[in-house]
Structure 1
Amino acid sequence: MKTLTLLRHAKSGWDDTVARDFDRPLNPKGHRASQAVGRYMKAIGLTFDHVVASPAVRVTETLGEVEQSYGSELAPDWDQRVYLASVATLLDIVHDLPDAADRVLMVGHNPGLEELVLALIPDHDQLRDDVEVKFPTASLAEMRFEVERWADLKPGTGLLVRFTRPRDLDPALGPDRD
């Protein structure tokens, strides 16, 4: 069995005057949400054999904050392909994951991550419906697959076992609040 956990980067700052989207940093709410997610991951005992992440600034900052409150270094493989990737590219990345890794964390961006969940999970799943409504920043989706090799993972065959939004951890991290 393989477990794929997706983490969308935390809320970034649109007010920052950066030349490239790639360089946008987290805003204060993003820092708080990342810390809350790290504490949550630690509290429920999530562990990973492999981490792959976009090298965008908002992702590196999200992971830095998560690691501090998670209490462990995640040591991601930074993969440029994850940056603003389509669902097809993300699925290619998943298929290329090392088979020795049973529990993988992928950290990236929307709409790709949301579309990946929707592609991998069958339509009749309540948590999937919640993802379809919105996959907010700093949200975590954990999926399980009955495969031995990542290359054998097929759309519509996963089980979404967890979908956690920052507002589920702290109501102050919900929409319309800074």
Structure 2
Amino acid sequence: MTRILILTRHAKSAWDDISLGDHDRTLNKRGRRSAQAIGAWLRQHGYLPDQVISSDAVRTRETWTEMGLGGCEPEFTRALYLAQPEQLLSSLRQASGRVVLLLGHNPGIAEFAGQIVDEAPAHARFFDYPTGATTVIEFATDDWAEIGWHKGEVLDFIVPRELTD
């Protein structure tokens, strides 16, 4: 059996309210539209998570909501707020779903994406992982605890601009 990881960076956040700290920034209009487009793309391709593990930042919460995937109750955790690759891997190794959506932030999520796959997709934006970037990765295991660096096979990669422009 296999496991599928949907790795998504939060959508574009707003910077117009300088009184908000980084953790409390919301999505801007483009971010909401991008998250909706990513959600529609995931549905269209049959990539539906049965577990969601996400940073607890406002913009990641809003990204999940705007994706409109439903189906499961997300786990929002402070441990994934600005998490480094090792923390992301540790959280994923504790997952229980077959298809897990991991929602986080740069720079950690870009570094994690580059380290978790055996071969990066031939896409100019993969390594900088812009807002809303989403990779679908398959692992040849039935236990998340067994995954490690360079073990995932990329099934798909998309950035919102390819869906909205």
Q: TM-score range by the shorter chain?
A: over 0.9
What CA deviation, in whole Å up to 9, does each residue of 1:28-47 have, x standing for no partner?
11111111111112222221
Q: Please say if 1:126 is aligned against 2:124.
A: no
Q: Is the 8 A contact 1:127 1:160 kept in 2?
A: no
Aligned length: 164
- Aligned with 2:90 (options 70, 73, 92): 92
AA in 2 matched with 1:146: A
**Unaligned runs of at least 5 residues, structure 1:** 172-178
Cα separation, 2, equivalents of 1:88 and 1:129: 24
Structure 1 or 2: larger helix share? 1
AA in 2 matched with 1:7: T
- CA gap 1:157/1:31 in 2 versus in 1, 3 angstroms: same
> TM-score w.r.t. structure 1 length?
0.86
Which residue pairs with 2:64 in the alignment?
A: 63
**Percent identical across equivalent pairs?**
33
- Aligned with 2:152 (options 147, 151, 158): 158
Q: Which has the larger radius of gyration?
A: 1
Q: Is the 8 A contact 1:128 1:160 kept in 2?
A: no
- State the SS of the aligned residue for 1:117: helix
Which residue pairs with 2:105 in the alignment?
A: 109
Segments of 4+ in structure 1 off by > 3 A? 124-130
Q: Is the 8 A contact 1:121 1:128 kept in 2?
A: no
Cα separation, 2, equivalents of 1:97 and 1:169: 29
- CA gap 1:63/1:150 in 2 versus in 1, 3 angstroms: same
AA in 2 matched with 1:107: L
Q: Is the 8 A contact 1:59 1:107 kept in 2?
A: yes
Q: Is the 8 A contact 2:139 2:151 kept in 1?
A: yes
> TM-score w.r.t. structure 2 length?
0.92
Cα separation, 2, equivalents of 1:36 and 1:4: 19
RMSD: 1.6
